[in-house]
Amino acid sequence: MPRELVLGIDFGSSTTIAGALVGDRIELVQDNGGSVIPSIAFVPDRGGLEVGHRAAARQWTDPSRVVRSVKRLLGLPSSSELVRRYAAGVPFQVDLTSDKPVLKLAQSIAPEQIAAAILAHVRDLAEKRFGLTPKRAVITLSADAPHGYREAITKAARIAHLEVLDLVAEPIAGTLALDLHMQSAHRRVVVCDFGGGTFDVSAVLQEGLRFRPVAVYGDHFLGGNDLDDVMAEAIAAIVYRNSRYDLHRDVVRWNELVLRCESAKRQISSGTSAPLVMRDAYLHAGVRKDLRLTLEGPWAEATWHAKLARTADVVGELLRRAGWRPQDVDVVGLIGGSSMIPAFRRQMSSLFGVGRVTLADAPELAVAQGATLLTARFQKVSDRIPTLVQQMHR
Ligand SMILES: Nc1ncnc2c1ncn2[C@@H]1O[C@H](COP(=O)(O)OP(=O)(O)OP(=O)(O)O)[C@@H](O)[C@H]1O
Ligand SMILES: [Mg+2]
């Protein structure tokens, strides 16, 4: 056990994952029996926020008091187009009259406060897991994070009593989890991070054991959440055709449908069809009906077609910016939870060729694993990790 606990944290828009080095092993903080902590907060009438799994459970019954994807707002002014899109898509008010957005739920809350509550939860969980209170952390951020993001996440960490030692680009952390640093090489690497809210792509040049991003691009409104939404829309269209009932009518039920689509999506990724059952979902001729469907992979993929096509466009734009052709790329590393979707991997393979594309062992955890490895720079751990890390350049 190290003397001091330094955390590596992937603060994501859907999930947050954190770890620490124990010897030369990466150990991830555990919440509810897993290492994935939902980046979700529930805002009660008064008192502290609930975050993580407890807040995620509230989505089923009280979605209008639940804040998700706060990362999308961090560091942005109220005038930003991204903030306006966020505000238009949530079931609560977002006050855009001051410089920075303020979330108006039972309490008025700044995005940094939500981020701070999530980071404080991470710190508490780390203390439980390791028996030491972490005071310092390496935190990852999107390669094209907006201008004010660094300051905003640093402030959130400070509120959570964590000093930020370094802010590292997510694709660079992800590269480490792909084990590319195990071999000194000159390679052109494309890292595709298909997460919950965003699709971030980076062109990274590996020179020996140094990794240098040469171009980044991304779509901040293209992620697993969007796939859930289009599935739900397709189901709503079927119900409307058959019963003239609009499932959007009821916010709570609509939200439940989206959540059920998310879990069906995961099951479909593992290659099976997925049942979707929702009790009392709609009215048909004045009678409440259950929704009972079996969702098949090809059907789901058809609903995702436009979104997956967009991932190819985003990669195309990255290559244009980097000045690379697909055949110039040596390795394409896929990270982020949504890269578990077979149709996405096929899309990338058809762009680059099957042999070049590699999926991280645990795509959802890759960025956190890399961030945790990078904490080696700031503490005395085994000899192996510092050598490789010291030669890394941001
Ligand atoms: N087995 C799976 N199949 C399909 N999608 C999955 C699977 N596991 C997780 N996901 C999806 O991955 C997404 C979360 O991925 P990840 O944790 O990488 O995102 P994030 O880092 O929080 O978000 P972002 O990178 O956009 O900030 C969710 O939309 C989730 O539904
Ligand atoms: Mg991520």
CATH of the domain at 234: 3.90.640.10
Same domain for 34 and 63?
A: yes
Residue 252 structural domain: 224-302
| Count of CA atoms in the C-beta half-sphere (13 A) of 376 | 24
Last residue of a domain, one of 281, 302, 323: 302
Same domain for 373 and 352?
A: no
Same domain for 273 and 316?
A: no
Same domain for 289 and 323?
A: no
Q: pTM for the full model?
A: 0.93
Nearest ligand atom owner, CA of 223: 1
59 lines ligand 1 (CB under 6 A): no
Same domain for 137 and 272?
A: no
Same domain for 148 and 295?
A: no
Same domain for 351 and 252?
A: no
Last residue of a domain, one of 255, 281, 302: 302
196 lines ligand 1 (CB under 6 A): yes
Length of the chain: 394
CA distance 307 to 305: 6
Nearest ligand atom owner, CA of 270: 1
Q: Ligand 1, residues 142, 263, 265, 307: which to mutate, most atoms within 8 A of Cβ?
A: 265
336 lines ligand 1 (CB under 6 A): yes
Mean per-residue pLDDT for 311-332?
97
Closest residue CA from atom 13 of ligand 1: 196
- Using DSSP's 3-state secondary structure scheme, residue 120 falls into helix
65 lines ligand 1 (CB under 6 A): no
Cα–Cα distances in Å, from 207 out to 117, 147, 183, 188, 204? 39, 28, 11, 9, 10
Cβ neighbours of 206 (radius 10 Å): 20
Same domain for 376 and 345?
A: no
Cβ neighbours of 251 (radius 10 Å): 11
Looking at residue 135, what DSSP letter applies? Answer: -
At residue 391 the predicted structure's pLDDT band, cuts being 50, 70 and 90, is: low
At residue 180 the predicted structure's pLDDT band, cuts being 50, 70 and 90, is: confident
Closest residue CA from atom 25 of ligand 1: 195
Residue 389 has pLDDT above 80, yes or no: no
β-pair partners for 212: 205
Identify whether 163 is part of a domain. Answer: yes
Q: What is the atom index within ligand 1 of the atom nearest the CA of 15?
A: 22
Separation of CA 337 and ligand 1 centre (Å): 3
Identify whether 88 is part of a domain. Answer: no
Same domain for 373 and 240?
A: no
CA distance 360 to 366: 7
At residue 385 the predicted structure's pLDDT band, cuts being 50, 70 and 90, is: low
At residue 377 the predicted structure's pLDDT band, cuts being 50, 70 and 90, is: confident
CA distance 168 to 155: 16
Query: Do the beta carbons of residue 185 and residue 215 sit within 8 Å?
Result: no
The pLDDT score that the predictor gives to residue 98 is: 96
Residue 262 has pLDDT above 80, yes or no: yes
Q: What is the atom index within ligand 1 of the atom nearest the CA of 269?
A: 3
CATH of the domain at 53: 3.30.420.40
Query: Do the beta carbons of residue 291 and residue 239 sit within 8 Å?
Result: yes
Q: What is the atom index within ligand 1 of the atom nearest the CA of 336?
A: 18
Identify whether 95 is part of a domain. Answer: no
Residues with CB under 5 A from ligand 2 (ion): 12, 195
Give me the percent of the chain exceeding a pLDDT of 70: 95
Identify whether 266 is part of a domain. Answer: yes
The pLDDT score that the predictor gives to residue 394 is: 44
Same domain for 154 and 54?
A: yes
Separation of CA 146 and ligand 1 centre (Å): 21
pLDDT, tens digit (0-9, with 9 covering 90-100), for 204-232: 999 988 888 899 999 988 999 999 999 99
Distance of CA 109 to the CA centre of its chain: 22
Mean pLDDT for all residues in the chain = 93
First to last CA, the chain: 28
Last residue of a domain, one of 302, 336, 355: 302
pLDDT, tens digit (0-9, with 9 covering 90-100), for 141-164: 998 888 899 999 999 999 999 999
Same domain for 344 and 263?
A: no
CA distance 144 to 170: 10
Residue 23 has pLDDT above 90, yes or no: no
Separation of CA 390 and ligand 1 centre (Å): 30
At residue 84 the predicted structure's pLDDT band, cuts being 50, 70 and 90, is: very high
Identify whether 191 is part of a domain. Answer: yes
Q: Ligand 1, residues 13, 15, 35: which to mutate, most atoms within 8 A of Cβ?
A: 15
Mean per-residue pLDDT for 317-334?
97
At residue 386 the predicted structure's pLDDT band, cuts being 50, 70 and 90, is: low
Q: How many domains does the chain have?
A: 3
- Cβ burial of 243 (10 Å; 0-12, 13-18, 19+) is middle
Separation of CA 10 and ligand 2 centre (Å): 7
At residue 184 the predicted structure's pLDDT band, cuts being 50, 70 and 90, is: confident
The pLDDT score that the predictor gives to residue 161 is: 98
The pLDDT score that the predictor gives to residue 393 is: 47
CA distance 148 to 241: 46
Cα–Cα distances in Å, from 248 out to 93, 151, 388? 19, 38, 52
268 lines ligand 1 (CB under 6 A): no
The phi-psi region of residue 356 (left if phi > 0; otherwise alpha if psi is between -120 and 50; otherwise beta) is: alpha
Identify whether 75 is part of a domain. Answer: no
Residue 67 has pLDDT above 80, yes or no: yes
For residue 116, give the amino acid letter: A
Same domain for 155 and 19?
A: yes
**Nearest CA to 69 among 192, 217, 216, 224?**
224
Separation of CA 174 and ligand 1 centre (Å): 14
Identify whether 108 is part of a domain. Answer: no
Separation of CA 174 and ligand 2 centre (Å): 9
Separation of CA 327 and ligand 2 centre (Å): 27
35 lines ligand 1 (CB under 6 A): no
Separation of CA 133 and ligand 2 centre (Å): 25
348 lines ligand 1 (CB under 6 A): no
- Cα-Cα-Cα-Cα dihedral sign, residues 69, 74, 77, 82: negative
Residue 72 has pLDDT above 60, yes or no: yes
Separation of CA 387 and ligand 1 centre (Å): 32
Mean per-residue pLDDT for 366-394?
74
